[in-house]
Structure formats: C-alpha cells, structure tokens
Amino acid sequence: MSGRSDEDAARMKKVFLSGSRRISRLPAEVRQRLDEMIRRELTILVGDANGADKAVQSYFAKHHYPNVLVFCTAGDCRNNVGDWPVRVVEAPHRTRDFAYFTAKDAAMADEADVGLALWDGQSSGTIVNVARLVARSKPAVVYIGPAKTFSTLKTPDDLAELLSSVDTDVRQRVEGYIHDHVAELAQPQMF
C-alpha cells in the first residue's frame, strides 16, 4: 500500500488479505506490499485456506511477524502456519459449502480498514471478498495475477469496471456469486 502518507497509515490499521486457492507463490511485487505492511506494523487479517491464505501466512511466519490474526469458520482452522491467535467465526450452518467457508471472509471485511486480494482472474471467492469491502466503503487493492498489475477499487463502479475486462463467462459467474453473497450489492442496478 505504498504511496500513502503517515497519516493514512495511522488510520489504516487492519488489512484483510485474501486470494485465490490457485495462488500458492507470491510474486515479488506482492511481497513488496507485504514488506510495507510489516514496516508499518499493520494488523493482518487472513483466512485459513490453502493457496493464497497459506502463502501469505508462510510469508509472515518466515519474517516472524506477530501482528496476524487467523480467521476460521467454526473454530476448525485448516492452516495457521505461525501459530497466531485465531478468531473463531460462527458457521451459518453445518454444510461445508461456499457460505460456510466464507462466513469468516464477511467477518474480516467487517473488521478490516482495507483489503489486498490476490486474484487469479477466475476465482469468484476472491472477488466476493473485494465486493464485501467495496460495499462497506473500504478500499480494496486487487493484484491481478495474469496481468501482474494492481488495481485499487473504492466503489461499485470500480468493481464493475474491473469485471468488464474479464471473459464473459467468468464475469457472469462472479456477478452471480456477488449477487448471492453480498447483500449490499445484490441490487439489480449493480450489474
């Protein structure tokens, strides 16, 4: 989150990190952002999934970074590489479906000040997390893996613009997930 003033850093304390399960290696440009978070001593909110969650956890564990909070649904933590404190999020039901595993994501979006999402250009869950942040008027920086670029989204229009650049089938699937899982953005005029 480079380019921000010290005043911005003082306000921005909690970062929701999320990403696609297909991303298991962190590109150099993402590692630079994580290093900046360490330098600023920001609190990292991260899930427990394989892929990006585990890669991010491994990076912070390697750097012995203590300001990490791992969110797990129903207390069943799949990954906690650094043995950090765990925030248990109540499961919406017993079926281990999308809503079950993303209950923790909604909690992180509520608690975070900003987000960094590592997107493989396909994952619905990653973009639902971005939509949750945008719906709560919190900025989300999206690292778009295939393009190796960052995009900052602050409004539903920013999100719609990002989605307009992806394949139609991916866009329709992602928009469906957003409609089903982000009540604030389920309005017909959004998409």
- The per-residue pLDDT string of the chain (191 residues; one tens digit each, 9 = 90 and over) reads 444 444 544 456 999 999 999 999 999 999 999 999 999 999 999 999 999 999 999 999 999 999 999 999 988 899 999 999 999 999 888 888 888 888 899 999 999 999 999 999 998 889 999 999 999 999 999 999 999 999 999 999 999 999 998 888 888 888 888 888 777 665 544 44
Domain architecture of the chain: domains with CATH: 6-182 (3.40.50.450)
Q: What is the pTM (predicted TM-score) of this model?
A: 0.87
Alpha-carbon separation of residue 183 from 89, 104, 179, 180 (angstroms): 19, 16, 7, 7
Q: In what order do the strands lie in the sheet with 68-73?
A: 86-89, 68-73, 43-46, 14-19, 114-119, 140-144, 149-153
